Structure 1
Amino acid sequence: MKRLLILLTLTLSLVYAKDSVEFKYAPKDLQRSFPSEQNQILSYSNILENVRTSIVNISIKKEIKGNLYSANPFFNDPFFREFFKGYGDIPQDRIQKSLGSGVIVSKDGYIVTNNHVIDGADEIIVNLAGDKKEYEAKLIGKDEKGDLAIIKIEAKNLNAVTFYDSDKVKVGDIVFALGNPFGVGETITQGIVSATGRSGVGIVEYEDFIQTDASINPGNSGGALINSAGHLIGINSAIISKSGGNVGIGFAIPSNMVTSIATSLIESGKYTRAYLGVTISDVSEDMSSFYNENYGALITGVEENSPAAKAGLKRGDLIISVNGKKIESASELKNTIGSYAPKRVVNIKFLREKKIDVVNVTLTTLDSKTAMGEFEYKGMKLAEITSIDKQQLNLTLEGVIVKEVDQKSEAFGSGVRKNDIILQVENSEISTLDDFKRATATDSKKRFFIYRKGGIFAIVL
């Protein structure tokens, strides 16, 4: 019996030895290196001292027009209307104020910020670091799809920020976020670059974010993300948070995208993106086997008379590079094409039936394409819901979306707001712009059923 136990033990030992893992250990004699002696302080103040004066505080004022009913969709309920009868027509015009940040990009007063910081502003006020004077800013141009805007103040010899090539930013780089969170005043927070090329977040249409754990809080929007050399690598734009406070997931628009958009906005007041004319998707691991284990942007559709169609691109082609830049996802292709000016000729490398081919494509303008898909009605711009809208707003329903609404219009006064979804007009359900046009063909007042943030309410327009 004892011999059997010994034999069993040896057998088990052999089995365990066979399955064991040899762990990799660091040398036991590793020494700690200290950043300084006890009579020295490790600091970045010399780097940040200069760039601090390139950051500005932005405050805006905008007049909100409407009445009690339009201020809150619950007052469109018949019960509430009856209960508050007579009060709903009382004017509820009010001044809304908000704060944000901006970055000086030229000595003569051009400042870059987020579009959402100044969107709809009637008045934009800028405060410079160390200067008690308030400067009234003029809006030069904005790019809603990239969430950037350029404003200008009348000032000279300002400290313009130094830009860094954001394509050279690496994960792990030390960075600083500068801005005015919660309106408490100039604030600097430190972190690292957590990721680059972040897309699919659902914040804006064109996303190529630098992700950081440096604290970015409300009011930091439009401020600077600076590397340890004091150079601008991005414009702070958004955070992911359930509470509204920082949880270590912040996003900045990379400096290369900023310079491209800002240059166009300063020169012409607008930024026009190029258009290829394809619908695209990512490639799964199983799908990549059909393309020699390559990843890229898979063409799922080609629009008639588009640049892609004229160049001979087809459904099923896998785009793997543009002008020598490797493409590994659908969003990367979208951002790359969107960074070019219309009429630009680009070299596209793609895979078709496991063979690589190359074609030159002359791009056109995206704005002319998207404008065709919009419809104006009583002060609001409507469009059909896209996959991007569904992702950004977490939508699963059909209807038309309100892209813009004039604050002085009849639609705004009745309670319509940006990103509202019009589901039904009278007894007609709405899925397309054609449905909406038919339902609103006559000028009579109609009931509109609108979806907003999980609730449905009705207005008369």
Structure 2
Amino acid sequence: MKPLSILVSAALLGSASLATLPAQAALPGNVAGQEMPSLAPMLEQVTPAVVSINVAGTHVSRQRIPDAFRFFFGPNAPQEQTREQPFEGLGSGVIIDAKNGYVVTNNHVVDEADKIEVSLTDGRTFKAKKIGADKDVDIALLQIEADGLTQIQQADSDELRVGDFAVAIGNPLGLGQTVTSGIVSALGRSDLQVENLENFIQTDAAINRGNSGGALVNLRGELIGINTAIIGPNGGNIGIGFAIPVNMMKNLVKQIVDHGEVRRGYLGIMGGELTHELAKAMGYKSGQGAFVSQVLEDSAADKAGIKAGDIVTHIDGKAVKSFGELRAKVATLGEGAKVKLGLVRDGDEKTVTVTLTGQSDAKEAAGEALHPRLDGAEFENDSKGIKVTKVAERSPAAYTGLEQGDIIVGVNRQRVKTVKDLEKILDSNGDGGVLALNIIRGRTSLYLVIR
């Protein structure tokens, strides 16, 4: 390789002849003994904190047997068919607390897993226990019992800027620990229909299957996000990857550690994205912010003095780009958190302090109180409609076909926005009428018929 080094150097030096070059010609970046720029020193400190995760379990699926088919099996026929399918999977994780053995990953990596193993870069493997999770954000907290762990340092993801360098570390396609680099391509990405609560960092650092739950770090080796999803044909990388901001992860982990569960913060507003036309109509010059179309009575927002028509521009001094970002940040802050919201009202800037209520305070009704066939489900108002927050197994609501996370947006071709809207329609329908619920499930719109 030495002759190649000399030729390249000669080309760069212009008129210098090969005969007059020093015996050890140096490439640019190694002039006068300087080392080549490299991420290696940083990665040597960080990569021991990124782990591989292997899981195994049994996926149980239930399908309701239509009444017409149950007739052939007699009066004791089952109402549903159950199927069990074994599965194995892999992903990545990040050690955030070496003393307590806490490892963060994506919930979808370990969801329904009966066996979870964490493998370190030094070759050791440990069984892991799932401490808690948040399916809406796709974060799970694991714990292992091990000595000599390396934990990662965490940055302030609210300080990120588009164009900052980013490095993704994980276990793509089961190849083993792999490092890719890129930049922060965008911030505050939402409405991707990947998770229920979205406020993603977008990066062009290559992320592939198996990277889920791995680390996205800055050039100081500080964690800025948890790699979660990609957009690409057949699941391949095309330079559009998404990570959950580390600040959201920290809030959720604290709740899981303190309470054993996530206690969702609730503001009590409905609204949407601030379009250019809407901003102009409201006399607001910027196109960024969250528009408030309704404030729910006796909610945290109502008590703080927020009004319909307000535009939320900041949360705790940080700019709010969209309604989706506001919703995700508020939800992950947790019950009882105090936040300062910057508002624009009639062209004037205001700041209000809000004490967030808990998710239990946001639940408007149980399914049993609404309709016998909705027994076992719980509902709450959501910015998009009526969210199904829980469906008990083998309940009438489950047999109807409702699933946790469904959003009810219409009943019998009538638009519904709140549980009270649903109650009014059900009351007017009586006991014997057919109900057609218009459901948004992920990216799919469907109807469930209740008889």
Offset at residue 362 of structure 1 (A): 3.0
Offset at residue 259 of structure 1 (A): 1.8
- What's the counterpart of residue 316 of structure 1? 309
Normalised by the length of structure 2, the TM-score is 0.72
Distance of aligned partners of 1:228 and 1:310 in 2 relative to their CA distance in 1, 3 Å threshold:
closer
| Structure 2 residue 200 is the aligned partner of structure 1 residue 209 | yes
- What's the counterpart of residue 335 of structure 2? 342
* 2:40 maps to amino acid: S
- What's the counterpart of residue 106 of structure 2? 114
On the 8 A contact 2:92/2:210 being kept in 1, the answer is yes
Aligned residues: 403
| Structure 2 residue 349 is the aligned partner of structure 1 residue 364 | no
Tell me the distance in 2 between the aligned counterparts of 1:227 and 1:121: 31
| Structure 2 residue 323 is the aligned partner of structure 1 residue 330 | yes
Per-residue Cα deviation, 1:265-317 (whole angstroms, up to 9, x for no partner): 22222222322211122333333343352453222111111122223322122
* 1:106 maps to amino acid: D
Per-residue Cα deviation, 1:81-104 (whole angstroms, up to 9, x for no partner): 99xxxxxx9975332221111101
Matches within 5 A, 1:6-405: 34-36=28-30, 42-65=37-60, 70=63, 92-107=83-98, 108-133=100-125, 135-289=126-280, 290-294=282-286, 295-365=288-358, 367-373=359-365, 375=367, 381=377, 383=379, 388=384
Structure number with greater Rg is: 1
Tell me the distance in 1 between the aligned counterparts of 2:118 and 2:179: 19
Structure number with the higher strand fraction is 2
Normalised by the length of structure 1, the TM-score is 0.71
- What's the counterpart of residue 16 of structure 1? none
Tell me the distance in 2 between the aligned counterparts of 1:131 and 1:52: 13
Equivalent residue of 2:344, what SS?
strand
Distance of aligned partners of 1:277 and 1:37 in 2 relative to their CA distance in 1, 3 Å threshold:
same
Tell me the distance in 2 between the aligned counterparts of 1:420 and 1:281: 19
Tell me the distance in 1 between the aligned counterparts of 2:215 and 2:179: 10
* 2:250 maps to amino acid: T
Tell me the distance in 1 between the aligned counterparts of 2:326 and 2:348: 20
Structure of higher RCO (CA pairs closer than 8 Å, 6+ residues apart): 1
Equivalent residue of 2:235, what SS?
coil
Distance of aligned partners of 1:219 and 1:233 in 2 relative to their CA distance in 1, 3 Å threshold:
same
Offset at residue 213 of structure 1 (A): 0.8
Per-residue Cα deviation, 1:194-236 (whole angstroms, up to 9, x for no partner): 1222223222233222111111111111000122222211110
* 1:116 maps to amino acid: H
The answer for unaligned runs of 5 or more in structure 1 is 1-30, 83-88, 390-398, 443-447
Tell me the distance in 1 between the aligned counterparts of 2:401 and 2:275: 43
Equivalent residue of 2:234, what SS?
coil
Tell me the distance in 2 between the aligned counterparts of 1:279 and 1:66: 34
- What's the counterpart of residue 19 of structure 2? none
On the 8 A contact 2:251/2:334 being kept in 1, the answer is no
Distance of aligned partners of 1:460 and 1:169 in 2 relative to their CA distance in 1, 3 Å threshold:
closer
Distance of aligned partners of 1:417 and 1:62 in 2 relative to their CA distance in 1, 3 Å threshold:
farther
On the 8 A contact 1:380/1:402 being kept in 2, the answer is no
* 1:55 maps to amino acid: V
Tell me the distance in 1 between the aligned counterparts of 2:332 and 2:397: 34
Distance of aligned partners of 1:34 and 1:369 in 2 relative to their CA distance in 1, 3 Å threshold:
farther
The answer for unaligned runs of 5 or more in structure 2 is 1-13, 15-26, 73-79
Tell me the distance in 1 between the aligned counterparts of 2:196 and 2:168: 23
Offset at residue 246 of structure 1 (A): 0.9
Equivalent residue of 2:274, what SS?
coil
Per-residue Cα deviation, 1:46-99 (whole angstroms, up to 9, x for no partner): 2212222111111222223468xx4xx9x97999x99xxxxxx99753322211
* 1:364 maps to amino acid: T
Distance of aligned partners of 1:258 and 1:414 in 2 relative to their CA distance in 1, 3 Å threshold:
same
Offset at residue 378 of structure 1 (A): 10
Offset at residue 400 of structure 1 (A): 8.3
Tell me the distance in 2 between the aligned counterparts of 1:230 and 1:357: 38
